[in-house]
Amino acid sequence: MAAREPSRYMARALPRALGSTARPQGIACRRFASDEAPARRLSSQMDELETASSLEGTVSEDVAKSFDPVAQANSRKTQLPRSRYQFRSPKYYRGPLHPHQPPPPSDPSSRVFVPGPFSSPRAQQTYTSTIAQDILALCYVHNPPGFKPPPKAPRLREWDDSPPTIRTGPSVDRVVERITIHSHVKGAIKENSSWLHVAGMAIQTISNVKVTTYKSKTSVPSWGVVPGRDTCAVKAELQGENMYHFLGKLIDVVLPRIKDWPGIKGSSGDSSGNITFGLAPESVAMFPEIEVNYDMYPPKMIPGCHITLHTTAKADKDAQLLLSALGLPFYGKMIN
């Protein structure tokens, strides 16, 4: 077989070589990794999963019907001691040599374990299925082979050990990384702390994230702010599932209902792809979580807030493209 292979190749190739060729002969069969990309259906790839007894075989109807874990547990005469099945994570970390080590954070018995995700957010699915590929097609820069783009002056000064804060050059990869909701509570300085409690509760309700409070660092005499004394702001940082749910609510429920909302100002942004805009107290009250029991909030104390959308875009222009694709309009003069 092996000996016959070249002659077979010759027999196929010679007539082509002797005849007029339309184009230079390429490699007969080119193969790309993407040619073999499987359709991304998990259930069709169950055979690739590790074998486990739960995945093998089927359970007959009557066995499944008669299975009652609570009754089984109650019928047990003797119990194992609690220490055998209930692991308690140590309260303090006593070093790597201590016999009682805390479990990894992904373990439900860990003290820092956070459950989730609970859903697959719609905004995220829209991003991955529609927006990401459209941005890729929109921003693709084609350099023909042999062409070298002319060198561009760097936007920021070059740094030798290039710290991660410096981000230069265009990029197609644009995602909303995190969202910060920040609210400066004036009433907490002028009057009492109840303003701060209500503001924290409201921000926590709309974001599903526990807020942190901040004290003033600078003195503003006209506002009566003394550094280090007054707690004057609450902030929530959203990532992942919470962030996408918040973004979805903001874009589809709250912003369309604001009267005469012109959009985000085109000049907003820190020139590194992070865009900020503000919401008035009456807009914050439009979030569905606050609306369902609006009566429980003192209406005067519902806070306004600033929302910062941190994106991986390296210039404001790129971030504006991403956010307008997500459904946040911009108005006025666009400044990068």
Partner 1 sequence: MATGSNGARRIVSLLRPSLVDSGVCRSCQQTLGRRNYASAATEASPSEASSTAAPPVLKPVYTINAGMVLSRAPLVTRDLEPFEKAYHFYQKRLNERLTLPFTKYFYFKRGTPADADWKNKIRERRTPARDIGHYDPYGPEAWNDELLVGSRESDPEYQAEMLVQDAESTANNTSQDTSKREEIPRPFPRVTEADKKGDHHSLNRLLPRTLYLLVQSNEGYWKFPSSPVEKDESLRGAAERTLVQSAGINMNTWTVGYHPVGHHVYDFRHPRPGQATGTTLHGEKTFFMKGRIMTGQANLSANMQNLKDFKWLAKEEIPQYVLPQYFSNVKNMLSDR
What is the binding site for partner 1 (CB under 8 A)? Answer: 2-3, 5-7, 9-10, 13-14, 17-18, 20-27, 34-35, 39-43, 59, 64, 67, 69-70, 73, 108, 113, 115-120, 122, 125-126, 128-130, 133-134, 137-140, 142, 145-146, 201, 293, 296
Question: What's the token pair of residue 118?
Answer: 């609970």
Residue owning tokens 């942004």:
269
Instruction: Identify whether the C-beta of residue 276 lies closer than 8 Å to the C-beta of residue 308.
Output: yes
In the complex with partner 1, the residue whose CB is nearer, 125 or 193, is 125
Distance separating alpha carbons of residues 100 and 112, to the nearest angstrom: 16
Distance separating alpha carbons of residues 205 and 211, to the nearest angstrom: 10
In the complex with partner 1, the residue whose CB is nearer, 202 or 328, is 202
Q: Closest approach of Cβ 33 to partner 1, in Å?
A: 11
Q: Closest approach of Cβ 161 to partner 1, in Å?
A: 36
Q: Closest approach of Cβ 222 to partner 1, in Å?
A: 35
Q: Closest approach of Cβ 275 to partner 1, in Å?
A: 23
| Cis bond before residue 221 (omega within 30° of 0) | no
Number of helices (H), then strands (E), belonging to the chain: the values are 12, 7
In the complex with partner 1, the residue whose CB is nearer, 246 or 277, is 246
In the complex with partner 1, the residue whose CB is nearer, 145 or 221, is 145
Distances (CA, A) of 262 to 2, 284, 309: 73, 17, 18
In the complex with partner 1, the residue whose CB is nearer, 27 or 153, is 27
| Cis bond before residue 170 (omega within 30° of 0) | no
Q: Closest approach of Cβ 12 to partner 1, in Å?
A: 10
